[in-house]
Structure 1
Amino acid sequence: MGNIIDMASFEHLRRSNSDDRYTCPKTNVTFPHIYKVLVPDGDLVDDVPVFIGTYSTEYRLKEPSSLEQLPGFPPSTATKISTLDAADEIYLDVIHFTNKDKALGFRQACGHLGIEPEHVRSFKDQQGVFLLLRRADAPKKARHIIYRSTDVQYIQPLGCEMECEYVAAFNELGQIIPYGILDDSLCEE
């Protein structure tokens, strides 16, 4: 991957869509809605699944299907979100891939790196494949939703085209913030 271009540095960047989806102004990729889903927890009693009265929270890029409903369990509830709660100790990475093979390889790499399968969700549409990662490995990034897309850009000083990653980070207030303050690996210039 080439340069990382922080979209917070673009003054004109604002969420202009009425549906709160983020559109990258450089790549024109519109990211799907994020859903916070409360899934009823169950346990096996005499080989029969039984609702135990608690719920797990999942984050997805599409609403749960009625086919996921188990008999005797309350339905899952889904809420569209554009921010995380101030008390959340996690962050979400939403990554766009134009190539489904790259997306599949990235998803497999997540498994090798120990990210649990239920913390990696995918969604495919005409723009490509989107992966949503639920992560808790960087305290500075907690409560942020980070959108990533890539595009080839001509870099004048190098005299060639290079694949660049465009990153936009939104805090719990829905404000875009400089990604560099969240990522210790980036060098400030």
Structure 2
Amino acid sequence: MGNIIDMASFEHLRRSNTDDRYTCPKTNVTFPHIYKVMIPDGELINDQATFLGTFSAYYQLKEEPRHGNSTLPGFPPSTATEIATLQAEDGFYLDIIHFSRKERWEGFRDACFHLGMDMEAVSWTANEHGFFILLVKEDDAKKSSHVIYHSSGVEYVNELGQMLECRCVAAFNSFGVIVPYASIETYMD
């Protein structure tokens, strides 16, 4: 990969389409909606599945919940709410990564599971704009409560005199304001 193009430079273009999904102004990739799904919690009490009165939140790229306890007797239905931001107190962040080729998308998804990521932390979908993976991550406190979009495209780099694949990154804070990626990125020495 080449340079990282920080989409904070294009804030005025960040939500230009009518359905409020993020479109990268450099690659013209429109990302899918993000859904917060509330799954009813339960446990076995006297060999009977029992609703505990609480819900667990999952984040995914499809409205229909992937699974849940909602089909069990006495459990309320799962709900899915479209979101664009996280809450400031959320101790995790969302990475949404675009892939133009199915093989890369499948390989990345398979690697997530091979490396031990929890099934609940990975969601995926494909649409007319390409292939997408959403990761729920807790490994960097500076990124907590941010939604970070990643896409890539070929750019002409004057200094090198050639075309180079560049990664475009847009990070939104809990207020829905785009922020410079460098301000939340942790660099290793």
CA distance, structure 1, for counterparts of residue 72 and residue 140 of structure 2: 38
Matches within 5 A, 1:77-116: 77-116=79-118
Aligned counterpart in structure 1 of residue 160 of structure 2, from 158, 161, 167: 158
Q: Which residue of 1 aligns with 2:41?
A: 41
Q: TM-score, normalised by structure 2?
A: 0.89
d(CA) in 2 for partners of 1:186 and 1:14? Answer: 29
Gaps of 5+ in 2: none
Structure 1, gaps ≥5 residues long: none
1:102 maps to a residue whose letter is: R
1:134-155 Cα shifts (integer Å, max 9, x gaps): 0111000001000011111121
Count of aligned pairs: 187
Q: 1:186 to 1:163 in 2, by over 3 A?
A: farther
> C-alpha separation between the residues in 2 aligned to 1:32 and 1:56?
22
Q: Distance in 1 between matches of 2:23 and 2:31?
A: 6
Task: Report whether the alignment pairs 1:71 with 2:76.
Answer: no
Cα drift, residue 66 of structure 1: 9.5
The two structures, once aligned, show a CA RMSD in angstroms of 2.2
Q: From the superposition, tell whether residues 47 and 3 of structure 1 become closer, same or farther in structure 2 (CA, over 3 Å).
A: farther
Provide the TM-score with structure 1 as the length reference.
0.89
Q: Aligned partner of 1:22: which letter?
A: Y
The residue identity in structure 1 corresponding to 2:59 is Y
Percentage identity across aligned positions? Answer: 56
Distance 1:11 1:177 in 2: 9
Q: How far apart are residue 46 of structure 1 and its match? A: 6.7
Q: What's the CA shift string for 1:40-83, capped at 9, x where partnerless?
A: 12334576543332211000111125986413221101111111
The alpha carbon displacement at 1:163 in A equals 1.0
1:19 Cα deviation from its structure 2 partner: 2.8
Counterparts in 2 of 1:165 and 1:66: CA distance versus 1, 3 Å: closer
Structure 2 counterpart of 1:31: 31
The CA distance in 2 between the partners of 1:170 and 1:101, in whole Å, is: 28
Would the alpha carbon gap of residues 47 and 100 (structure 1) be closer, same or farther in structure 2, given more than 3 Å must change?
farther
Please state whether the residue corresponding to 1:43 is helix, strand or coil.
strand
